[in-house]
Amino acid sequence: MSRPKYFWHGPLCAVLLTFCSCAPLPRLDPNPRPMGIIERLERANLVVMGVVQSETTAQGGWRPTNSGSMPLELQMVRFRVEGVIKGRYESAALSFYYYRSTGGWSGHAPNIVLPGRRYIMYLVTDGDLLRATNDAYSSNTEIITGRHKLEAVVDREASLELIARLLLLPGDGLDVSQYLESFYVERETALGIVGPIKTAELLRSLLRDKNGLIRGRACIELAEFPIGDKACLAQLLGDLSASPEDRERGRSLSQGR
């Protein structure tokens, strides 16, 4: 028996409706250049802290027309917002876009976004969309100190000091091992955005931490160049809760080595 002429209409229409309902993304011109934290903060319309929920390829295969440029791929990131550092945002979730490189890499750090990790995201508006301040190169600041309750800040200097606190001071759910492993890197980042005086103030506050491993590491980072504040070393040498490695380094520093 022959099938009615309308037999394929239903499935075909469903496919067409699905296809037509997927509106194409507006063209986003790439901005693949490195930016430090200060420039990202100044350029951003919105700066938020939270956790990456997912990252998916939004549009692949786009390559700049000029010869020799890096191949780029547009990514969409879904993000759970825990607090706002700059701008206004009321929802607990947002999505934004950025281009990542799909080729070889050398030079400045590439942009890496991993689901489940906590970051500060620096975002700008592009039409109705949010996107990272810059593409390919790092456009975020990973926060490994746990979750923090953010208070509203009103200016650039206060925002930078807040970022330095988020980098250095323990929050809820801190992984102490990971924190200690990257403590030197976080200290260097804080020095670059707020300078040695403010960084030293934050490190001194850690000398009162209940965890001896954190107290010891904070003392070492205070005593090392470029801060060079060795006042805590006597306390460190008698602190049996500090790590043996930090106590040994403290002994060397106290002897001028």
Give residue 75's identity as a one-letter amino acid code.
Answer: Q
Which pLDDT score, from 0 to 100, does residue 122 have? 98
Number of domains observed in the structure of the chain:
2
Of 120, 142, 164, which residue sits at a domain end? 142
Looking at the structure, tell me whether residues 165 and 243 fall in a common domain. Answer: yes
Q: What is the pTM of this model?
A: 0.86
Phi-psi region of 249 (alpha: psi -120 to 50; beta: other; left: phi over 0): alpha
- Average pLDDT value over all residues in the chain: 88
State how far the Cα of 221 lies from the Cα of 52, in Å rounded to an integer: 30
Same domain, 80 and 29: yes
Find the distance separating the first CA and the last CA of the chain, reported in whole Å. Answer: 95
Q: Which of 112, 142, 172 is at the close of a domain?
A: 142
Cis amide linkage into residue 226, ω under 30° from 0: yes
Query: What pLDDT score does 38 carry?
Result: 97
Assess contact for 203 and 218: CB atoms under 8 A.
Answer: yes
Q: Are residues 128 and 173 in the same domain?
A: no
**Residue 155: which H helix or E strand, with range?**
none
| Residue 214 in this model has a pLDDT that exceeds 70 | yes
Counting every residue written for the chain, the total comes to: 257
Q: Please indicate, yes or no, whether residues 160 and 218 belong to a single structural domain of this protein.
A: yes
The single residue listed with the structure tokens 């039409």 is 127
Interaxial angle between packed helices 183-206 and 212-223, expressed in degrees from 0 to 180 and rounded to the nearest 10 = 100
Q: What is the pLDDT of residue 4?
A: 38
What pLDDT does 59 receive?
Answer: 67
Residues 171 and 104 in one domain: no
Closest by alpha carbon to 121, among 163, 158, 157? 163
For the chain, what percent of residues have pLDDT higher than 90?
Answer: 75
Indicate whether 49 and 129 sit together in one domain: yes
List C-alpha distances in Å: 122 to 146, 203, 223: 19, 26, 32
- At 153, the pLDDT band (50, 70, 90 cuts) reads confident
Last residue of a domain, one of 95, 125, 142: 142
256: confidence class by pLDDT, cuts 50, 70, 90: confident
Q: Could you report the per-residue pLDDT of 60-96, keeping only the tens digit for each?
A: 545 555 545 678 889 999 999 999 999 999 999 999 9
Contact (Cβ atoms closer than 8 angstroms) between residue 75 and residue 57: yes
Q: Which amino acid is at 169?
A: L
Question: Mean pLDDT over residues 244-250, rounded?
Answer: 97
**Rg of the chain over all Cα atoms, to the nearest angstrom:** 24
Q: What are phi and psi of 58, to 5 degrees?
A: -90, -35
Domain region containing 30:
25-142
- Identity of the amino acid at 154: V
- The yes-or-no verdict on residue 25 having pLDDT over 80 is no
The per-residue pLDDT for 60 is 54
At 42 the pLDDT is 96
Rounded to the nearest 10 degrees, what angle do helices 183-206 and 156-168 cross at?
100
Tokens of residue 211, six digits: 């965890």
Q: What is the CATH number of the domain that holds 48?
A: 2.40.50
Residue type, 222: L
